[in-house]
A and B are shown apart, each in its own frame.
Chain A
Amino acid sequence: MGYAQAQETPIAFIGGTIIPVSGPPIENGILLVQHGKIQAVGRAATVRLSSEVTRIDVSGKVLMPGLVDTHSHVGEAAGGDGSAALQPDVRVLDALNVWSPSLGRARAGGITTVNVMPGSGHLLSGQTAYLKLRKGNAIQELLLCKDLLNEVCGGMKMANGTNPMRDNGTFPGTRSRSAAMARQLFIKAQAYQRKIKEAAGDATKMPERDLQMEALVQVLEGKRTVHFHTHRADDILTAIRIGQEFGFKPVLQHVSEGWKVAKEIAASGFPASVIVIDSPGGKLEAMDMRFETGAALVKEGALMGYHTDDYITDSRLFLRSAALGMRAGLNREKALESVTLAGAKMLDLDHRLGTLESGKDADFIVLSGDPMSVYTRIEQTWIEGKKVFDLSNPEDRKYATGAYGVLVGDVVHTHHDGDEDGHR
């Protein structure tokens, strides 16, 4: 692919305020990037620049890490269909439209890394894809993994509560059946895993290849992270219970009633990726949703981040979720982490992403001011040292503001049942 290698000339961003997230803000800082990586970051006086460095003056601007969105539906990928409640074989990467305008919206929102989830309404709707929002013409140019045949390139989407319930018999109609169906499938995967182990490398003794079982074995081995849609307090505890029973570590997703069970979530050690919605309700499991959830989880010591669930909330307003968390008691440091480092940790990518530190990927955004202010605009988005969004470019700007014909057809078509979106 060689995307990272494309940026050969070192570039220094000079004079701005740098929020590295790994430490306090740096006034009059320098961010030096080359070969797609951060070479240096620090106060102007501490970073030496050779004459070959391209200098970009960002005085008056704020630089921070590219945003990491742990739950999004950009790219119009559907995932599982209505044929079964559990479809671990289905991959988002086989359906994602890299030309979708929704990716342009996400870049305009400062999102550089995204976990694209398959659609909703299943107990298990398929394999997610971890992407960099590079401008590419094929899915492999966006994936964070290098070899999509042999590497794990994303997570696994599960759900409980009212979301997977349908009245057709194939899908669960109650919470107990939801849990039983998911557990039964994991027990089957454990047996498959045992057979592989017993074969001890002998190809003649290996079980027949089974795409569903292979993906679930990756979950059991801790190589593929389960992202577990769960809203209500009791459903959150059920997700934790299933993770603990089968020895995997889910990222709890949405977590609307997390404020009620913040202690229990923190004690489980499982991270929580929270959605922020402007009002409670809209479905039964979100009735007790509050802006306070993020602060409550952090207070108890849980790893907490936010996500967009785009198109449920707009990628262009991702920072708003963190700011509304701050409105409800989250401190500034944790608010900044919640859309950067926390997400990187949840995707096991914090060695590469989430902070501005020497050696990490050169993914960052240039802002007009305080990231937590409504009046601040995201002016530029850079991925691995390449600019993928520039507000001063009229074509890019259309994605930031909307314009006639620009966002046409960018909505994901994933939902099957219940109301217009298939959620209940």
Chain B
Amino acid sequence: MIKHLLFLCVVVGLPNVLSAQKYALKADVVHTVSGPSIQNGLLLVKDGKIEWVGAAKDKAIPKDYKTYTAKTITPGLVDGHSVVGLAGALNQPHDQDQLETSGAPIAPELRALDAYNPREILVSYLREMGVTTIHTGHGPGALISGQTLVAKTIGNSIQEAVVDSSSMLAITLGSGISSAFKSPATRSKALAMLRQELLKAQSYLRKMEQPEIGKRPERDLKLETLAQLLKGELKALVTVDRAHDIQAAIRLAKEFNLKMVLDSASEAYLVMDEIKSSGVELVLHPTMKRAAGESENLTFETAKILNEAGIAFSLQSGFEGYVPKTRVVLFEAAIAAAYGLPYDKALAAITINPAKILGISHRVGSLEIGKDADVVLFDGDPFEYTTHVCTVFVNGKVVSETCR
């Protein structure tokens, strides 16, 4: 995680933008995610943060608090991996920034923050569906397609939205690498190229750590980013579906001691022991992703199977080249729950689990005192088809008030 100080300063400098309003949010059930669900629960919101959470009977609502009532309250949803903000809804060349194919297939220097459009309609669409934080950026399709970022689904600028300006490095293995690149065209070549590049970065890192400044090499954005990966400041987000490609990714993580997150991982159920013992993290494919191509062996029950094996994972909206241009993690978790993933685990997969993988669980992912007041109010069971997302709070501000 690399916190760009500039952005942090800007955010801290604008507390008034966040909220001056105080809210009391009541519901039949409050799913805190961090602890047991609270029947007849109450949540107090002040200065953009969660001020208090507990049973309504234990706290009188102070009189200057505006009250909202719902059937169910959950934390703001966190999308474990998306391309929203870079892959626009129009799906025309001018609004597709998730993959650069005119250059080299290894492009770690590409920053999501230089392309992220906070006004993109799919950002507001997700926000209205209760998604308050997205991990987004360069998509799959290049060996290394670029950096990802973490943003709240608000704001007119990247500065207002950003939570982590550089979160992970997006890597693709298997046959998902775009044919726009002449090479790599085979799995073996892909790994050889990646390993050689990482060796170069190791050497760059050694030279940059020389005490004598004059002997250090000129800055190289590509190698500098890879050096951050080697130092564990960035995680490797490896989009991979086939079981043997998952094994290749784990092999790479071990060789270079990388912090790795497996992305999609359709065939994870075939290699659960290896995933577990390797310590890599997992952002599973959208439950409703189409079973085709590299993902032809995915199942609706993989979430359930992984959970039963004791493997923690997050869910994601993923990448779509066509329709739907984005998926909605709420819907994906609902189908996972319908196909055997316990309710609380399904909710964790779109709240606290991705928050942990993204290193932001001190701010979002559960309803705890002091955390950001990102909250979603529903008029029923959040996973039911016919339930509506009615009110959405981000940083203690109402950002959506129409039941959808």
Contacts and interface: CB of A to CB of B under 8 A. Distances in A.
Interface of A: 277-284, 286-287, 291, 311-312, 314, 316-317, 320, 323-324, 326-327, 372-375, 377, 400-405, 407-411, 419-421, 423
Given A279-B125, A327-B385, 16 more contacts: A278-B326, A278-B327, A279-B325, A279-B328, A280-B122, A281-B90, A282-B320, A282-B324, A283-B91, A287-B89, A323-B385, A374-B335, A401-B300, A402-B298, A405-B297, A407-B291
A377 B292 CA distance: 23
Interface in B43-93: 88-92
Given A282-B89, A411-B290, A327 B270 contact: no
A401 B301 CA distance: 6
A320 B339 CA distance: 14
Nearest to A311: B290
Interface in B355-404: 383-388, 404
A373 B385 contact: yes
A374 B92 contact: no
B92 A421 contact: no
Given A374-B338, A405-B297, A419 B385 contact: no
Given A277-B323, A404-B297, A374 B290 contact: no
Contacts of B125: 279-280
Contacts of A291: 404
Most A-side CB within 10 Å, residue of B291, B321, B327: B291
Contact of A280 (B121, B297, B321): B121
Given A314-B290, A408-B296, A324 B321 contact: no
Max chain B CB contacts within 10 Å: which of A286, A326, A402, A403? Answer: A402
B385 A404 contact: no
Contact of A282 (B292, B301, B323, B338): B323
Instruction: Identify whether the interface residues of B are mostly helix, strand, loop, or mixed.
Output: loop
Contacts of B384: 373-375
Contact of A402 (B291, B383, B387, B388): B291
B290 A419 contact: no
Contacts, number: 119
B334 interface: yes
Contact of A326 (B300, B320, B328, B386): B386
B194 interface: no
B117 to A, nearest CB: 13
Nearest to B301: A401
19 contacts: A279-B125, A279-B326, A279-B327, A282-B89, A282-B91, A282-B320, A282-B325, A283-B322, A284-B91, A311-B290, A314-B290, A327-B388, A374-B338, A375-B338, A401-B301, A402-B300, A404-B270, A408-B296, A421-B321
Among A280, A374, A375, chain B packs the most CB atoms within 10 A around the CB of: A374
Nearest to A101: B291
Nearest to B332: A278
A284 B90 contact: yes
Interface string B312-350: 000000001111111110010011011100000000000
A407 B298 CA distance: 9
Contact of B386 (A327, A400, A423): A327
Contact of A423 (B88, B92, B300, B322): B322
Contacts of A281: 88-91, 121-122, 323, 325
Nearest to A375: B338
A25 to B, nearest CB: 17
B353 interface: no
A287 B292 CA distance: 25
Contact of B385 (A312, A326, A403): A326
A410 B387 CA distance: 33
Interface string B281-306: 00000001011110011111100000
Q: Which of B293, B298, B386 has the most CB of A within 10 A?
A: B386
Name, among A281, A312, A373, the residue most crowded by chain B CB atoms within 10 Å (CB to CB).
Answer: A281
Contacts of A324: 385
B97 interface: no
Contact of A401 (B90, B325, B334, B339): B339
A104 B270 CA distance: 23
Contact of A419 (B288, B293, B297, B321): B321
A287 B88 CA distance: 11
A278 B291 CA distance: 17
Contact of B334 (A374, A400, A419): A374
B385 A280 contact: no
Nearest to B297: A404
B267 interface: yes
A419 B331 CA distance: 25
A404 B326 CA distance: 26
Contacts of B325: 279-282
A278 B322 contact: no
A283 B323 contact: yes
Contacts of B267: 404
A156 to B, nearest CB: 24
Contacts of B323: 277, 279, 281-283, 286, 312, 423
A419 to B, nearest CB: 6
Nearest to A376: B338
Contacts of A408: 296-297
A279 B122 contact: yes
A3 to B, nearest CB: 29
Nearest to B330: A278
B321 A403 contact: no
B300 A374 contact: no
A316 B338 CA distance: 13
A247 to B, nearest CB: 33
B324 A419 contact: no
Given A280-B121, A423-B322, A314 B288 contact: yes
Interface in B236-292: 267, 270, 288, 290-292
Nearest to A404: B297
A377 B267 CA distance: 24
A411 B292 contact: yes
State the 9 A-B residue pairs at the shortest beta-carbon distance, nearest first: A281-B89, A282-B323, A323-B385, A402-B299, A282-B325, A278-B324, A407-B291, A279-B324, A281-B325
Given A320-B385, A402-B299, A404-B270, A282 B334 contact: no
Given A281-B121, A284-B92, A372-B386, A403 B299 contact: yes
A420 B121 contact: no
Contacts of A421: 321-322
Nearest to A405: B297
A17 B267 CA distance: 39
Contacts of A279: 89, 122, 125, 323-328
A327 B387 contact: yes
A407 B301 CA distance: 14
A144 B179 CA distance: 42
Contacts of A405: 297
A326 B380 CA distance: 14
B296 A420 contact: no
A57 to B, nearest CB: 25
A282 to B, nearest CB: 3
Contacts of B298: 402
Contacts of B338: 374-375, 377
A105 B325 CA distance: 23
Contacts of B339: 401
B103 to A, nearest CB: 21
A374 B382 CA distance: 11
Contacts of A287: 89-90
